[in-house]
Structures are given as C-alpha cells and as structure tokens.
Structure 1
Amino acid sequence: MDIQQHTAATGSVHSGSSEEDTGGPGPADRLPLADFHDACGRILASINTVIEGKQEAARLALTVLLAQGHLLVEDVPGVGKTMLAKTLARTIDCSVHRIQFTPDLLPSDVTGVSIYNQDKHRFEFRPGPVFANIVIGDEINRASAKTQSALLECMEEHQVTVDGRSYTLDAPFMVVATQNPIEMEGTYPLPEAQRDRFMARISMGYPDPRAEMLMLETHQSMSPLREIRPVVGVGEVRAMVATVQDVYVSPAVKEYVVGIGRATREHPHLRLGASPRALLQLLRAAKAAAALDGRDFVLPDDVGSVAESVLAHRLMLDRKAITAGENASGIVAGILAKVPVGAEARRTAS
C-alpha cells in the first residue's frame, strides 16, 4: 500500500456515531454569496493551472465537494485522473491521504486496526488513511470486493466501525476515487452498492491539441503540483458547504427531480433505475451548481446540468439496449428531454 501526503494527525479521530459530531458547519458559518463565489473562483483557477483544458471536470469536482458527495473519475491510464484528485486536494488547507489500491490490499489497511499495547495492557485503535478530509483512492477497482466494501460505511455515514466501536470522520470528508475501464486487465467491477455511494462520475478524456502542446511545454522540467498552494482553509470549506445547504429548492423542482427518477425506473431499456439516494444526491448537486452560478435558488437547468454525471453510472442497461449500442448517458439525455417541467418551475426560471 502506498500512502502519500500523510498529513492528518491521529489525534483527530473521534469516538462515537452521532452525525452531529462531524465538525460540520453550523447556522452561523454560512458565507455571503459574493464571498462564496470568490472562493470558488480561487479554487477553480488553481486547478486549471495544472489540469489544462478540463474546466468542466474541475467544476464538477468542486460541485461534488460542496455538495458533500464523493467523486469517481473513470478513464484510461495517463489522462490526469489522479492529477485532478491531487490538485483539488492541494487547493484546500486540510488533511489528505492517498491510497494505492492493489489486489493484496486488506480492509484494515484502509480503515485502521486495533493493536494490543503491551505497556498499557489494552487494545488501541490505529486509524487508517481513510481518516482525512480528502481521501484519494487510486485505481479503486484493482482491489478486491472485500476491500472496496470497507469504504461503504465511511462514504455513507462518515464513520468507521472497528471491533464494535465507531469513530467519526472529520468534515469535510470526500473520497475521490479513480478507476480504469473494467475491460482492462487486473480490474474488478465496482458493485452496484459501491457505485451508488459516489455522487458523480466523470470521464477525463484526452486533452485537445492546444492543451496537449501547453502540457508538453510546461510539464517537462517539474510537476505543476509543486507550485500549488492552498487557496482556502478547511473552515472556509465548511462555511461554503453550509451556504450550499441553504440554497432554496421549490416544490416544483423537487417534483421535477422525482419525475426524472421515476422515468429511469420505468424506462424499457433499463434493468436498474435511480435509487432514492441518487435523487437526494442529484438535488444536492443541483444546489451546489446553483450556488456556483451565484444563485440562492435552484432552477431546472441546474438539475439538468448535473443529471448525467450523477445518474448515468448508477443505471444498468438490459441486454437488448447494450446490443443496440445504447449507453446510460444517452438514456439520461433522452429522459431529460421528455420529463416535463412544472409551470411553477418555468416561472421561476423566467
């Protein structure tokens, strides 16, 4: 196991399972929208100095962070998946751990283990690399299903349970995992329950020729990551998360989200549609997208802008659809084109 940037002190581990003891933002911690927008601009500008030509990927990564979700970055090797995760982590002055997933990695290598202290005659918990604000899981689908499942409780409940005792993870907490396509040698497909824990999935893709030329000119002598410095503190990130939580969602927009979810479950080409968790995360991502655009209310367009990234990786196509060459992204686009937007939501948008 390769754990880099081990910056979190073990003294930050808290015992208990209460969701209120997560260090989350309180009502007084919200930022004005102007300050929120300024902080987002600093983060995105810092990321874009390293990741050339991938502004949409950087924006979505920030959206997921502010919506208290987790991000899955999927693509072929060498297109900047891990670089994006590292750059996002370095823009924030918080604890960062990196885990290199391999077939021989054990669950205790991720969550931690209780070790007997002979001097004190008792067991003591040694926290694993998951105890950090941002956890980078590199090539997560190279580990076995047993090790992958060690992240389920961490990602959903923000806590780790070892030997019957729960330890709370500090907020903000975000897992940024990278994976290679499942067709590649030595990979294990993520199970449906694991994929459903990730708020969004993005594919980096190859850079355009201009960005690739710039990369060749600037990335030869040294890694641009060396020049990255934190532009926001962990307290400011908590306040930004609280600002997103305060974004208003009208009943009409909620009905629109429910309509999208039901359409995925009733689609003739899908064996598995969007779960209730998926709809909750779609709405949270839409709230973050609205705040990034400088608004304190959600429009249907905000839902549509994140729907493909939030829903596509959760959907399972039937064999006929796969044979016909259809894909989940195309199905989500078709659903967005057909699901009606309520009159109240249209009035808000206008």
Structure 2
Amino acid sequence: MSTQFSDTDPHYRPADPALWNGRIDDEEALPALRWHQQTQCISLASLPPVTHQLVQLGFACDAGVMRNKGRPGAVAGPDALRGALCNLACDQTLLFDAGTIACEGDQLEPAQASLASAVARLRAAGAAPVVFGGGHEIAWGSFQGLMPELNQYPHIGIVNFDAHLDLRRPEPAGSSGTPFRQIAEWCQQHQHPFHYLVVGANQSANTDALWQFASAQGVQWLDDISAETAPATECYAVLDRFLAGVDALYITVCMDVFNAAFAPGVSAPAAMGLSPGRFFHLFKHLLKLAHRHQKPVLLLDIAELNPHYDRDHQTAKLAARIVWEYQTWRRQAAP
C-alpha cells in the first residue's frame, strides 16, 4: 500500500474551512477554546508535522449501504459529524482536518482504495487518524490502510461496536455488510491472524450462517443484551481476554449499536442496542486497558451516521462525543 497521496486523486475532496465555525467565548485571561478553533485544514498531499496528532478524515459514501439494501443518507455523515464537533470544548492541542474521500455513484472499490491510501499516508506520518463515514464499508478501506503496519503489528485486533457482524459474503461485490468477511479472507490468503471482537451484536439481526462463520473464524462477541445488562466486570473480562492476544487495535464504531432512542440517524435503527452510558464505560475501559498494556490504537472510525433520519442532530452529537472522548483519552495518555 503506497503512502503517497495526490490532490489529483479523483475521490479526494480538500478540507473545507467553512465547515469549522461556531461559538467563540470570551473568558478574560482563561482559555475557553472550542473544537472548531483548534482545527486546521490540511492537505493529504503535503502534510505538516502531525506526529501523534489527531487528524480527521471523511469517507462520504452511500454505495455500500445501498448495495446492502439499507437506507441511504450516510454520505452526509462526515460533514454532519464535523458540525457536531465544532462547539465542543477543546484544550490548546491542535487538531487537523485532512478532507474527505468521496464515493461517486457505485464506485465503491476505487473509493475504498483511495481511503486506504489516505489512511496509510496519515499513519506513515505518525498521525492518529479518525475516519468519519459513510457506511460500514469504511472498514475494508480502513483496514487496507493499516496493512503496511502488519510487519510491525502482525496481530492487529479489530474491536467493532456494532449490532451486526458484517461478515456476509461479498457476492457479487462488497457492501456495508461484508467488510469483516473481506478482512478475514484477506488474512487467510496472506497467512495473517484474524482477531475480531464484536461488542453489542444483535442475535436477531444476524443469521445462523453468519454466527457459524464467525465461530469457525474464531470471532469473539458480546451480544447487545449482555453488553448492556451484565455486570461491568464480566464485560471488561471479555475485552481483557481479547486485548491479551493482540499487538495493536483498530476500533470501529457503528452508530446502529445504540438503541434507536439514542441514535435514530442510522441505516438500520436498533430496537434494543446499547445505551450511551454503558457504551462509554466499555469504550473507555478498552482505551485505558490498551494504554496500560502498551497496545497502540492505530485507528478509530465512525460508521453509519445518517443525518437524513436524525432528530435534532442527536446521533451526530453522540458520534461527536465518541470522538471527543477518544481525543481526551489520547491527550491524557500522552507521555
């Protein structure tokens, strides 16, 4: 995977400074900064120093969801998430927006290849990428962007907060329901271990064939009812066991893991799903555990934010809080 990236990539849309605006507070001599004030727009083709810095990248795509017969609208997710982040409190750490990879029509595979090159470029520069989707087809592009690091981290663990296993066969082509099957098949072909944990899986939304394939591949999971109602220590133990077997993490959050009361703006709203409170307990425990055992988080992405079906930006604000908590943990964990 090349770490070179050109502004002439047909799927690349430069960062738009007009998206980053909002409230500016005057608190005399005290810093009172917000996310939009600390975000700088940069180009993937000529990156400034971004080592250990959070870099936001959009993946505007509906093709995967439409192939999966879901509700389109996630193509607008990246900019909706940027808008929800704008007014969140921020310290004096610089943040960056590297623009958006946009999928036109059904050109999913070329757009995923562009996303992979963009992620690889950011990781080679030492950045901490956070990718805003788009449907969960984002995961196949994101993982491809991490492939250059498999020599250093041969056991990359994927933790997917999701109601769905997304292990469907990519026949005749990939979709938002196939990315982790594509990763599993690539790992098998290239003799790399496949480490995959799904947190919040809905037993009723995944067929027996998917559960059987998951079992055969050694996939681990914590179903939605257990993730929400079991004692926190039992859920932590699942995360602990998974993390013990990996070198680094790729964390991906599908917004349909949440109960639809909290996240209506998704392709497939959940009747059960997690509450935000329980999610953040698990998410923050995972981050703390990774730091304690020196397992780097290589990438975070957010999938299935569909503003078309959102209410009062409720889902976008929840997604923004996930990104905010991640950046807060990164700042606190920095040496």
> So what's the TM-score if we normalise by structure 2?
0.30
> So what's the TM-score if we normalise by structure 1?
0.29
Q: Indicate the structure whose relative CO is greater, using CA pairs within 8 Å and at least 6 residues apart.
A: 1
Larger gyration radius, structure 1 or structure 2: 1
Structure with greater helix percent: 1
